[in-house]
Each structure stands twice: as structure tokens, then as C-alpha cells.
Amino acid sequence: MAKFIEIEAKSILQKQKYRDGWFWNRYNLNPYRGCQFACNYCDAITEKYLVHRDYKDFSRIIYVKNNAPKVLEKEVKKLRPDVVAMSGVTDPYQPAEKKYELTRKILEILAKHGFPVHIGTKSDLVLRDTDLLQEIAEKTWCTVSLTIVTFNQELLPHLEPFASSPERRLESIKKLNEAGIQAGVDFTPIVPYLLDSSDNIEEVIKRASEHAKYILIGAAMTLRSNQRTRFIELLNKNFPELVEKYENLYGEQESPPQAYIARLNKCAFEFCKKCGIKNYIPPPTFERPLKENFEVANLLLLIAFFKEFNSANPYSAWAYHKASQNIENLTDSIREIYEKGELIKIQGVGTSIVKIIEDYLTNGSSERLDKEMNAW
């Protein structure tokens, strides 16, 4: 039984330096700290994110930001609406939400002020808020990703002991899509040696594709600080035969080697293709000034997403992230800049990115994106 500690937050919306190319968010919002789902692979217990003194308390002590709606109401009035991700380091629909309803109150405010939303969860409690998510989807943009990493009943108690069953998550995806809310699967992480068989990858993708609009693939399970300690404990206790394999795969590194990640990405990509399902979330579309600049910026981010996916290197496309951000920050129309022949003057935009922008502004599509999307 978790202990709840009510706290007062000074601020609630955290702005990211760069837009995220997976979930398209510019803001993160965590109404709770700590998570009752206690997934054994969770990376939110690394020192980087942790507010608890002992990482073992992450699922035993839940900090509840009671004043979050009040603080948010003040913050949103000063900001231009943009995508808010709930939540980066906790699940917004963990059991605490049944009691406190902070996520619901926050969604009411975001809906009222026209903020688009991405929700990431492992709980079918998200269906409780279908009315609000529908309202946000109609007004701006709303996407819900439910994590599903396996349907294997023997492994789930070791990996995700307290989350809703994957069948219920799949049912939630179906219902959300039927309600007009874009919903898909976040297949993250693909846990080495437990979930990385082609049978498991195929099963998740095949079953998910019956109801989901997209499947995101996360083959790069990290093992950092507390996360590593906890996961190796799990292996020692329940899968001792895998300990040496993990040592060989990770060594001192936080992620598996790129060749391993690329192999899984390729395998997952081929199943996605076979099942006719996207392996990315399409960029958000919502009304905002200089909309074409936003489209071009998002096109570059999507190309970066695929370059990183194909190379299995999360830093292989930073030039695209930077150019995307600079284009989003422009105060002049990108089309006018293009017509004056001055795209090259935009900071971070080199000749190859100029060509991509010209192609898009002329044809409304991108050959480069098509190439990266189908690289395998």
C-alpha cells in the first residue's frame, strides 16, 4: 500500500529546449512524483529524475502535487498553446489518480485553454476522461499512447506487476480510437533476452495493429544507476541465467550496442510494414500563427526521428533538431524567405536541409522523408 504525501508545487509546466520528435511535446507535466505501477525496467528511478531519498520508495511514496491545477491555470494564461506530455516520469493514471483526480482537473484546464496533449499510460483508467480527451482532440490535437511490451502472462508479473493487463490496454486503444481520439501503442522497452524474440515482437505488433493507429518501437532499454541495480536484482532472483548475457551486452554502457538496437528496429519495422501500421506518431496539426513554418519544422523532426531509428543512434540527427527549432522560432514566413532565396541564411540550415525545405514548399511532400521512412 503506497503512502501519499501532498505537496505544493511552485511550477507545473516544464518547457523542453527542443520539441520531442516521438510525442511532439514542448512541455512536460507530472502531477505526481513516484509511480505505483513499479515496473522493474522503469528508468524514472535513475538519479537524473528521482526526488525520493531511496529509489526503493519510488513506488511506495507518491508525492501528490495538490495545487497543480491552480498553478497550471496561472501558467497557461501566459503561454502560447503547445503540446503538453503527461507524464514523463510517472503514470498520470496510476491508482492515486482515482483518489486525487489531478490528471482530470489538469485536462479540464488544458482543454479550456486550447492546449494539445499527448498522454502516455499503462492504465485503462484513461477511459474515464474520454469526454475531455475528445474535447481536446476536436479543438486542437490529442494522442494517447498505451505501453504494451508483451502479452506473455509469465513475464508480466516480473516486468509490470501492477499495471492494467495488456488486453485491457488494447481495449482502451480501441475505445479511444472509436471515440475519435488518436491512440496507439508504445512498445517500449523491448527488454533484452526476455522480450526481444521475433515471436514477441510479431505478436505485439500484430495484435496492436488490429486497433492502434501507430506503434512506437523502443529497442534501446537503458540500464542506468538505480535502474541498473534494480534490474540486475530482478535478474539475479528470477533469471540468473541472463546475468552474464546482460554483462556481455551492456558492459559498462547505459544502452545496448547500436548493432543490437538496429537489428531489433529493423525486425519491428518489417512487422509494422507487414501489418500496415505506422511506426511513428504523425506530427500534430493545430491552428497557430505561421502554420507552414510549423509544418516544415515538424517535417525535419520526423526525418530526424527516422534517421535515428535507422542508425540506432539517438544523436545522429542533431542538426535536424536544431534547424527545426530555429525554423519554429522564426517570426517571418518560411515561404517568403524561400521566395527571396534566403533559406540558407536561417541558422543551422545547410544546403541539404535547404533542398528538403524547397521540395516540401514546392510539392507539398518530401522525397527525403519517404526515403528515410523506407530505408529498410
Residues that bind ligand SF4 (CB under 6 A): 35, 37-39, 42, 44, 90-91, 122
Residue 34 region by backbone torsions, left for phi larger than 0, else alpha for psi between -120 and 50, else beta: left
Closest distance of CB 62 from ligand SF4, Å? 10
97 touches 105 (CB < 8 A)? no
Distances (CA, A) of 159 to 149, 155, 182, 190: 9, 6, 27, 11
DSSP reduced 3-state for 272? helix
Closest distance of CB 152 from ligand SF4, Å? 17
Residue 176 region by backbone torsions, left for phi larger than 0, else alpha for psi between -120 and 50, else beta: alpha
Closest distance of CB 44 from ligand SF4, Å? 5
Closest distance of CB 37 from ligand SF4, Å? 4
Closest distance of CB 61 from ligand SF4, Å? 13
For cell 545496448, what's the residue?
256
Closest distance of CB 85 from ligand SF4, Å? 13
CA atoms within 13 A on the CB side of 243: 12
Please, what is the angle between helix 351-363 and helix 318-328, to 10°?
A: 60
Rounded CA separation 49/251 (Å): 23
132 touches 108 (CB < 8 A)? yes
Which is closer to ligand SF4, CB of 53 or CB of 345?
A: 53
Rounded CA separation 199/197 (Å): 5
